[in-house]
Structure 1
Amino acid sequence: MDKISIIVPCYNEEKALPDFYRAVSETADDIPGAQCEFIFVDDGSCDRTAEILSGLTASDSRCRYLSFSRNFGKEAAMYAGLQNASGDYCVFMDADLQHPPELLKEMYHVLKTENYDCCAGLREGREGDGKLRSLLSRTFYRIIRRFCHLDMGDGKGDFRMMNRAMADSILELKEYNRYMKGIFSFVGFDTKWIPFRNIERSAGESKWSFRSLFRYAVDGILSFSTVPAAMPGAVGALLIAAAVLTVVLSVLFGGGLTVVPMLVSLILLLNGIQMIFLSLLGQYVSKDYMESKKRPIYIVKKKGGF
């Protein structure tokens, strides 16, 4: 009988966990030819998440959990869950029930009967997200596809079931700055997408603020694209051409360069652009600096069921 490891990153999910466990347990019991294990990863929660996970582990032998010493981020939690998964198939799910448990049976059926290594959920619609957040998300995915040349589209998230070969290939990538959507695309493997409708959280509140989403987007671009590092050269060439053209036009038609405000504005503009691109280059240097430290991706404070 096959074993499916259901990996669930958790951060302050005390309100959502009971409903999630009940819903997914019912589905897990109804997958023919497979048995499931639950691997919950408490990402340094400040509420009763760890206490609830400890109770689930004590009452259900299928449940195991890791509790981090602090908040290391969802990417680290997903990596930790995958490292500790023993299943023939591994699936990532959010604890807020926005990933429909009923798709687990279909995902497993696809991997067993069709020639795919991964079966993933393709989110349609953004119910529960504001209009501004939806617009920014769609814009980000258009930018990252252009910059990174990887298959990362809007709606192609973390909810996916993969075979052991794909899981092991992901574990081979040990960089500290992790962007899992990019990693899924980078390792390749044949993936089938199953559409599902996005719904609101079952309980609790989203932990993703605009600030954290923006930081996540920047990390994704910098982790899988070198395009921003090449942009200063192109912009610099355009600015030089514009400066030469300005001088020529002023001498020929303006009687010389005598407009002091224009020069001051130009200097300020050039300095501002220079600082922006220096910041981009600094981001790459800082990421290389963090990688060179060889720090652990996460630190476990407590575990249960292992």
Structure 2
Amino acid sequence: MDKISIIVPCYNEEQVLLLFYNETEKAVRDIENAECEFIFIDDGSRDHTPDILESLAYKDKRCKYLSFSRNFGKEAAMYAGLQHADGDYCVFMDADLQHPPALLKEMYRVLKNEGYDCCAGFREDREGEGKVRNFLSRSFYKVINKLCDLNMSDGAGDFRMMNRAMADSILEFKEYNRYMKGIFSFIGFDTKWIPFHNVERAAGDSKWNFKSLFRYALDGIFSFSTAPVTLAGTTGSILLGIAVLLGIGAAVRALLFGAPISGIMMIVLLILVLNGIQLLFLSVLGQYVSKDYMETKRRPLYIVKREEGFSKSHN
């Protein structure tokens, strides 16, 4: 009998956690010839999420959980869940029920019978989300696909079931600065997409604000593309060429026509613009240096404060 590991990162999800468990547990009952385990990752929650997970583990031996010592982020939580999963198939799901549990049965059927390595949910729309956030999200994916030479679309999220071979391949990526959507695309396993409509959270509030989304977007670009560095060099060369041409033009006008060279204000403005651009691209280079700095430290991706239901072989 196959085993399916359902990995669920959780951060302050006390309002929706029991509802998620009930709905998902009901959905997996319909999956024939497979048993399931729930692996909850408490990512440093400050509400009663750890207490609820403890009660679930006591009630249902299929439920296991890790509690981080602090908030390490969703990427670290997903990696930790995958490390502790021993199923033949692994699933990433959000606890807010925006990933429909009803699709799990079809995902398993696809992997079992159609020869795919992965079956993922594809969100067809963003109904219920703000127009500004919708626009920024679509724009980001257009930019990152051009910069990174990867196939990532706006509707392709973390909700997916994968076979053991794909799960083990993801575990080979040991970097500290992780961007899981990029890793999914980079490893190149065969994936079938199942469309579904966006739904609002069943309860609670989203933990993603514009600041965290912007930081996440930058992580994706800097993790999988060196295009910003190339752009910095190209822009510097163009600015240098423009400066040389302007200097030659001003000198020619002064010699042939006696036209006065630009005043002090123009010089000051030019210096400010050039210095601003220089500092901007120094910041881009600094992003790569800082990320390399964090990689060389070899710090752990997460620290477990408490766990329940796992064998010592996982530690």
Interval containing the TM-score (normalised by the shorter chain): over 0.9
1:161 aligns with 2:156: no
* CA–CA separation in structure 2 for the residues paired with 1:30 and 1:305: 24
Q: 1:132 matched to which residue of 2?
A: 132
- CA distance, structure 1, for counterparts of residue 33 and residue 16 of structure 2: 29
- 1:258, distance to aligned residue in structure 2 (A): 3.1
- Report the secondary structure of 2:91's partner residue: strand
1:128 and 1:168 mapped to 2: Cα distance? 36
CA displacement at 1:264 relative to structure 2: 1.0
SS in 1 for 2:101: coil
SS at match of 2:261: coil
After superposition, residues 53-132 of structure 1 pair within 5 angstroms as 53-132=53-132
Quick one: which amino acid aligns to residue 162 of structure 2?
M
Q: 1:283 aligns with which of 268, 283, 287?
A: 287
Instruction: In structure 1, give the amino acid aligned to 2:297.
Output: K
Match of 1:270 in 2: 274
Shift in Å, 1:33:
1.5
1:232 correspondence with 2:232? yes
Q: Which runs of 5+ in 1 are unaligned?
A: none
Alpha-carbon distance in 2 for matches of 1:85, 1:130: 35
The residue correspondences of 1:1-306 to structure 2 (distance < 5 A) are 1-253=1-253, 255-306=259-310
Deviation track 1:57-77 (CA, whole Å, cap 9, x = no partner) reads 000011000000000000000
CA contact (8 A) 1:247 1:257 kept: no
CA RMSD across the alignment: 1.0
Q: Hey, what's the Cα distance between the residues in 2 that align with 1:225 and 1:271?
A: 25
Q: 2: CA distance between counterparts of 1:262 and 1:233?
A: 25
Q: What is the count of residue pairs matched by the alignment?
A: 306
**Residue aligned with 1:56, SS:** helix
Identity of aligned residues (%): 68
Question: Offset of 1:115 from its aligned partner?
Answer: 1.8
Residue 313 of structure 2: aligned partner: none
Question: SS in structure 2 opposite 1:157?
Answer: strand
| Distance (Å, rounded) in 2 between the aligned partners of 1:196 and 1:177 | 30
- For residues 250 and 17 of structure 1, the distance between their equivalents in structure 2, rounded to whole angstroms, comes to 69
- Check conservation: 1:37, 1:62, Cα contact below 8 A: yes
Cα shift at 1:252:
4.3
CA contact (8 A) 1:67 1:303 kept: yes
The 3-state SS of whatever aligns with 2:66 is: strand
8 Å contact from structure 1 (residues 5, 39) kept in 2: yes
- Structure 1 position 35, deviation (Å): 1.0
Distance 1:257 1:241 in 2: 19
SS at match of 1:102: helix
SS in 1 for 2:193: strand
